Each structure stands twice: as C-alpha cells, then as structure tokens.
C-alpha cells in the first residue's frame, strides 16, 4: 500500500490529540528544517529482539491445523443490493493429519450453507459462526469430514462490507454507470469472501464473476480476454495472501502502455492516465535488472474514482491507483514505482504478520526510490528521500506510544492498520539506505536480490531478515556494520544514531530564497520558483517557519495561486499551512478539496487540522457532503476525528 491510513487514534497526529496551543510549536519545531539536528532526540534505547510473532493475532484461521491452498469464487455483483452473492469453494490441506475443523475469517458475511466434497458429491456439513469482534469479524468454524479437502460456502456480503465500496453513477468521473471496488489490505478480504485472512497463508484463486452486461470486471489475476458481456473469468496461478485478492467493476476502458503493461480507467481519464504512467515499462526494466525477473505475467494499473482511500494498492498484476497522481507532469509517479516494487517486496516476499509490515513497506519504499533514481535520475530520488525523511520526523514527533516507532512492532498492536505508518515506510527505507552505504551498492544489491530469491512466495519475519543479513552480507564483510548498529534499527525506538539525513542540493536554492523572503530581503513575487519541481515546492511549503503569518501566505498565494494548485500534494501541503496560520482565503478551496478527494493521506490530516484550529464547522459541513464519496475505511476514520472529545 502507499501511505499511512492512520486508523488508530494512538497514531493520529499530535494535532488531534493535544490542544492547538500545545501542539503547534511542537509540530513547527520539526518543520523548520530537515537536517539531522532537528530530528527528535535519539533514545539510545535498543530493546532486545522480541522474536517473531509466532501466530498472526489478527486472524481466527487455524492455519497451523488446516490451511487453505486455493479459492474458487463464483459470484454475482449486484449493484442494486450492494452485495456480492455466490459461492466460495476452498481447497485446503491438513497440516495436522487429524484436523477435524477448518476455521475461516468472515466479517459481516451472511453464510447460507456449507458443504464438503466427498467423492464427487457435495454434502452439507456443520458449521458455526462465532461472536462478532468490531475489528476482526467472526470466525467461521467448519467440520471437515475425514477424506474431504474442499468446502463450498454459499454466502453474500453486506452492503456495508468494510472492504468494498459501491459508488453510484454520480460518484464516478463518467457519471453514467455505478462502480464497485475492493480494498482488502489489511484485514478486509474477510468482508468480501470467507478466507483465511492472514499474510501467513497463500492461495491461488479463480473467479467467475457476473456483472451488469455493460460493465467490465477486473481482478488481481489474469484478466478475462473475452468480450464485455457481464460474464468474466479470472485465474491467479501464483499463490497470494488473501489481502491481495482484489476486484473492481465499472465502465472501464483500457490503454496499452507496452506489450505487457497497460492502464484501466474510466473512459474520460484513460488517455491522461496512460500518458502520466508511460514510464512504467522503464521502471519494470530497472527493477528486473536489480532484483531478478518480474514473476507475475502482465502488470497493469487501474485508476480508481477519487474516493479510493490510498495512494495505491499493490494488487498483483493490477495495482489500484488514486487519480490524485494524475498531476500532468509525472511528478507523483513515485507511487507507481512503489506499487510495482511490491511485486518483489510484499507480494513475492510477504510479511508473516502485520508487526513485520516494514518488510513489505520499508523494503518497497527503498526499491521505489531506486527505481525513481534509475528512471528520473539521482536528484529526483534524493529529493523524494528528503521529503519522506521530513514526513518521518513529523510523525515521530507526534507519536505518543513510542513502541510504535520500532521497525518490528509489538505483537499487541491494536489493529493491523497501526502498522502502516511512516515508521514502516520511511524508517524501513532508511535502514536499507544505511546498509547500502555501509556495504556498498554492489554488495547490497546482490544481498537484496538474494533475499527476494530465497524467500519468494513465502511469508517472512523480521528475524528471518536479520538471519539472512547476518549469514550473507555481514558474514562476507565483517566490520562494515556492527550487530548492535543493526539491532538499533530493527528493534530500537525513534531515529537510530546511524541514520543519515538526506541533503539534496536542489533544496539549497529553495532554502536560500525562502530565507531571503522570510527576512524581508525580497518580495514574494521575486521568488524564482519558475522551474521548481513538485518536490522543491513541497520542501518550500513544509519548511515554512511556524510564524510565517497569514500575510506572507497571502503574498505567496497571490503570485503562485497555491490554494488552487492542481497538484494534490502541493495543494495538501499548502492547506495544512493555511489552516495552521489561520489563512482564511484558502478555506473554500479546502472545503472543495475535501468534497472531491477521498484519499486518506490528505483528508485525515486536514480534518484533524480543521478541528484543532477552530474550523470544526467547516469540517463537519464538508464531511456531511463528502461522506457518500468516501470509502467505508475513510468514513470510519473521519468520524473518529470528528467525534466530540468531551
């Protein structure tokens, strides 16, 4: 996934947790500069390795007794009822030969019938559904008679299924047809089908999908190559964890970018999307050259309606992307590199539990940066590193529970979504930059390739990574890094003492202009922003001092019209500053943005900022209008933010 859903309030930025007066200086401190001096204090505390989390705590599945190996879906997508209705046939193997039950995860599923196959015949078997947990859903326990290795479950999803979003025609770009898509990471596959919903279990899958005749269905699998007739078949021959099961149905068009790469999107944006993402083949070539062949067949991108709550989701063969990446100048395609990189880190080598999420996201963020360097050059990659480093600093500064600043997270995190923070993404990425620096690029590249090769199609823990690192790179290059330095990264809190803050030279000019303008030595109109990249603008805005004042913001806005930037990242960064400074002229644009975009990275902090800075009325007014646009995941998060605190 790409970036930070921040589900749990423990991870909500300081603005939501503290009074504005107490919080603003704290955040401003970390925004002033991105040098190492401004980093939160290094704790020096390196807890002992906690060992792998033996069993995923966020699943009911008894995968140590009976393990699902294949899923065959046969489903109808019913827009009028907002449900998926059909059967799920699961093939399983008995890990324990005497296993007599198969336990699956479900969430809000109506289970009508369960059968087991004995010989050629399907026979009803006993099943029970356990109590409903608000996070985990309910276990579905099925009695499995001795010879059977297949069960068939007749079921339907709830219209409120957490993993599915049903959009009416008005909520799409085209406005003529409804749209449905899934978002199953981290634990929402269980709201789409009964499965063993843990990254520790991999399965192949097939699907027969019936939809309205004029709509196209696509899945994270080999696509149906037949006509658009409402009757589609899919096959996913590579085993994947349930969170990578994905479906979308809508008025979708397709444009090829190369022979093996293409873009699906609504007809009105498919051309622009194919143009924006035309460098994806070069990214794939760069990744294959570094880390070995792409092992999944085709790689396509699906651009979703604006309600998609994430930047991207690495559904194999078909990454799901937010339309907010379509900036027109390829400045935000790092997210494409990110989702593609997951074809090695995450989809191929998968974190065994969500406490090891840095193995998916940190490794992917590193690979993403390498692909950006290969395709767009070192300066762009350096700037993106620096922007990410600033994000990490701000996040750590707002973190109340410091145990969540560890790469290997405690096994008792409240919800898997807690694992998807900049700690996993950026601290994880910088751990790999640290290793690359110490061991040299050639040796480190060979190490990372060997990690992917040795763990392909397997679930892996932080301990597995450490073990592989020690036996290969460290053993072959004694003295380049000590075990305690490495363990400080893996198990320590906060920023490690060996982290190196990036200092891209392209930001120095930005800083000079900013400082001259802040000191009154030059007017806003004299800032030579012509030719600044998106990353330079982000640096300029993110590092504005806290006391810039709304007068200065007005000057900037009058020359650069930042309140109406078509670049979602620049607009977002600007809106945060505008809210913090009480710059009222930006508020109407912020309200429009919240009603147009459902991407969590943008909307959660903006709602938090509005509430914290006495703009709750605006926040509530925007949400009342925007709610039907937002994905259920985003609705729940925004409602948590808007809850009265006393």
Q: Which segments within 189-274 are labelled E, that is strand?
A: 202-210, 216-219, 231-241, 247-250, 253-256, 261-265
Nearer to Zn ion, 341 or 578 (CB): 341
Number of residues that bind Zn ion (CB under 5 A): 3
Find the shortest distance in angstroms from Cβ 346 to Zn ion.
6
Nearer to Zn ion, 67 or 338 (CB): 338
Residue 243 per-residue DSSP state: G
Cα separation of the two ends of the chain: 34
Determine the residue with CB nearest Zn ion: 1
In what helix (H) or strand (E) does residue 72 lie, and over which residues does it extend? strand 66-78
Q: In 324-405, where does DSSP find H-type helix? A: 334-341, 357-376, 378-397
Q: Which of 636, 645, 646, 575 is nearest to 162 (CA)?
A: 636
Q: Which segments within 149-224 are labelled E, that is strand?
A: 150-156, 164-167, 179-182, 202-210, 216-219
Find the shortest distance in angstroms from Cβ 33 to Zn ion.
28
Rounded Cα distance between 344 and 214, Å, is: 35
User: Taking every pair of C-alpha atoms in the chain, what is the biggest distance, in angstroms?
Assistant: 85
Find the shortest distance in angstroms from Cβ 332 to Zn ion.
15
Nearer to Zn ion, 384 or 615 (CB): 384
Rounded to the nearest angstrom, the gap between the alpha carbon of residue 129 and the centroid of all alpha carbons in its chain is 30
| Catalytic member of 181, 425, 604, 607 | 425
The one segment of 73-81, 128-136, 363-371, 483-491 that binds Zn ion by CB under 5 A:
363-371
Rounded Cα distance between 256 and 263, Å, is: 6
Find the shortest distance in angstroms from Cβ 370 to Zn ion.
15
527 is a contact residue toward Zn ion (CB under 5 A): no
Nearer to Zn ion, 317 or 577 (CB): 317
The one segment of 362-370, 379-387, 516-524, 543-551 that binds Zn ion by CB under 5 A:
362-370
Rounded Cα distance between 206 and 71, Å, is: 6
Find the shortest distance in angstroms from Cβ 361 to Zn ion.
5
Find the shortest distance in angstroms from Cβ 425 to Zn ion.
7
Find the shortest distance in angstroms from Cβ 364 to Zn ion.
5
**Helices and strands, number each (H, E), in the chain:** 21, 21
Residue 622 burial by Cβ neighbours in a 10 Å radius (0-12, 13-18, 19+): buried
Q: Are 589 and 620 in contact (CB under 8 A)?
A: no
1 is a contact residue toward Zn ion (CB under 5 A): yes
Find the shortest distance in angstroms from Cβ 338 to Zn ion.
6
Find the shortest distance in angstroms from Cβ 448 to Zn ion.
16
Q: Are 161 and 192 in contact (CB under 8 A)?
A: yes
Q: Are 139 and 130 in contact (CB under 8 A)?
A: yes
Helix (H, G, I), strand (E, B) or coil at 314: coil
Nearer to Zn ion, 334 or 632 (CB): 334
Which residues, 86 to 105, sit near Zn ion by CB under 5 A? none
Number of Cβ within 10 Å of residue 197's Cβ equals 32
The one segment of 290-298, 356-364, 434-442, 581-589 that binds Zn ion by CB under 5 A:
356-364
Catalytic residue list contains 299: no
In what helix (H) or strand (E) does residue 423 lie, and over which residues does it extend? none
| Catalytic member of 266, 284, 339, 591 | 339
Nearer to Zn ion, 30 or 364 (CB): 364
419 is a contact residue toward Zn ion (CB under 5 A): no
Q: Which of 397, 334, 330, 379 is nearest to 536 (CA)?
A: 379
Mode of pairing for the β-strands spanning 261-265 and 299-303? parallel
CA angle 239/308/283 to nearest 5° reads 60
Q: Are 633 and 627 in contact (CB under 8 A)?
A: no
Nearer to Zn ion, 338 or 631 (CB): 338
The one segment of 228-236, 355-363, 383-391, 405-413 that binds Zn ion by CB under 5 A:
355-363
Nearer to Zn ion, 1 or 568 (CB): 1
The one segment of 171-179, 226-234, 361-369, 625-633 that binds Zn ion by CB under 5 A:
361-369
Given CA atoms 435, 441, 443, 446 in this order, what sign does their dihedral have? positive
Find the shortest distance in angstroms from Cβ 419 to Zn ion.
11
The one segment of 11-19, 357-365, 377-385, 502-510 that binds Zn ion by CB under 5 A:
357-365
Nearer to Zn ion, 157 or 350 (CB): 350
Long-range own/partner contacts, residues 522-529 (CB < 8 A, 24 or more apart) = 523/555, 524/552, 524/555, 524/556, 524/558, 524/559, 524/560, 525/555, 525/559, 527/556, 527/559, 529/560
The one segment of 15-23, 69-77, 359-367, 528-536 that binds Zn ion by CB under 5 A:
359-367
The one segment of 26-34, 358-366, 517-525, 638-646 that binds Zn ion by CB under 5 A:
358-366
Find the shortest distance in angstroms from Cβ 456 to Zn ion.
18
Residue with tokens 């603008």: 537
Catalytic residue list contains 493: no
Nearer to Zn ion, 148 or 301 (CB): 301
Q: Are 7 and 417 in contact (CB under 8 A)?
A: yes
Rounded Cα distance between 422 and 131, Å, is: 34
Nearer to Zn ion, 1 or 510 (CB): 1
Q: Which residues are annotated as catalytic?
A: 339, 425
Q: By the criterion CB under 5 A, which residues form the site for Zn ion?
A: 1, 361, 364
């Amino acid at each position: 996934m790409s970036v930070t859903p921040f589900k749990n309030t423990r991870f909500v930025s300081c603005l939501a947790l503290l009074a504005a007066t107490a919080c603003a200086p704290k955040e401003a401190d970390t925004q002033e500069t991105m040098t190492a001096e401004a980093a939160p204090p290094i704790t020096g505390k390196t807890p002992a390795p906690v060992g792998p989390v033996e069993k995923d705590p966020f699943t009911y599945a008894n995968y140590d007794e009976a393990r699902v190996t294949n899923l065959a879906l046969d489903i109808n997508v019913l827009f009028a009822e907002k449900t998926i209705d059909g059967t799920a046939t699961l093939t399983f193997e008995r890990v324990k030969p005497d296993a007599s039950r198969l336990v699956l995860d479900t969430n809000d599923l109506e289970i009508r019938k369960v059968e087991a196959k004995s010989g050629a015949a399907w026979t009803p078997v006993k099943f029970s559904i356990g109590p409903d947990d608000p996070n985990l859903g309910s276990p579905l326990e099925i009695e499995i008679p001795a010879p059977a290795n297949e069960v068939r479950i007749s079921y339907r999803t709830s219209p409120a299924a957490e993993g599915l979003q049903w959009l009416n025609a008005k909520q799409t770009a085209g406005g003529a047809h409804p749209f449905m898509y899934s978002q199953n990471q981290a634990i929402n596959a269980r709201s789409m089908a009964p499965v063993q919903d843990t990254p520790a279990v991999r399965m192949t899958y097939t699907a027969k999908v019936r939809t309205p005749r004029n709509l196209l269905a696509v899945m994270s699998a080999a696509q149906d190559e037949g006509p658009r007739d409402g009757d589609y078949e899919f096959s996913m021959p590579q085993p994947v964890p349930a969170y990578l099961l994905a479906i979308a149905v809508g008025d979708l068009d397709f444009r090829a970018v190369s022979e093996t790469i293409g873009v699906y999107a609504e007809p009105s944006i498919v051309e622009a999307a194919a143009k924006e993402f035309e460098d994806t083949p070069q990214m794939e070539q760069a990744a294959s050259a570094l880390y070995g062949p792409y092992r999944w067949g085709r790689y396509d991108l699906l651009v979703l309606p604006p309600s998609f709550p994430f930047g991207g989701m690495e559904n194999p063969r078909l990454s799901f992307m937010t339309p907010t990446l379509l900036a027109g100048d390829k400045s935000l395609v790092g997210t494409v590199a990110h989702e593609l990189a997951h074809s090695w880190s995450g989809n191929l080598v998968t974190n065994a539990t969500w406490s090891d999420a840095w193995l998916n996201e940190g490794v992917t963020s590193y690979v993403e940066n390498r692909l950006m360097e290969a395709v767009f050059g070192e300066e762009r990659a350096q700037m993106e590193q620096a922007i990410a480093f600033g994000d990490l600093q701000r996040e750590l500064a707002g973190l109340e529970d410091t145990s969540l600043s560890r790469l290997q997270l405690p096994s008792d995190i409240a919800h898997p979504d807690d694992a998807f923070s900049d700690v996993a993404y950026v601290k994880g990425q910088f751990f790999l930059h640290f290793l690359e620096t110490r061991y040299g690029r050639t040796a480190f590249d060979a190490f990372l390739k060997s990690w992917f090769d040795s763990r392909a199609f397997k679930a892996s823990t932080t301990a597995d990574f450490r073990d592989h690192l020690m036996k290969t790179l460290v053993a072959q290059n004694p003295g380049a890094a000590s075990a305690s330095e490495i363990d400080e990264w893996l198990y320590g809190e906060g920023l490690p003492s060996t982290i190196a803050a990036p200092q891209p030279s392209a930001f120095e000019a930005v800083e000079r202009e900013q400082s001259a303008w802040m000191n009154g030595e030059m007017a806003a109109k004299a800032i030579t922003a012509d030719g600044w990249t998106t990353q330079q603008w982000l640096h300029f805005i993110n590092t504005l001092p806290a006391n810039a004042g709304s007068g200065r913001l007005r000057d900037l806005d009058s020359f650069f019209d930042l309140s109406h930037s078509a670049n979602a990242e620049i607009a977002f960064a600007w809106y945060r500053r505008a809210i913090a400074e009480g710059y009222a002229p930006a508020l109407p644009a912020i309200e429009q943005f919240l009603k147009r975009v459902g991407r969590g990275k943008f909307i959660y902090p903006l709602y938090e900022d509005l509430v914290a800075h006495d703009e709750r009325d605006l926040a509530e007014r925007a949400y009342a209008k925007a709610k039907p646009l937002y994905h259920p995941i985003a609705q729940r998060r925004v409602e948590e933010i808007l809850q009265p605190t006393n």
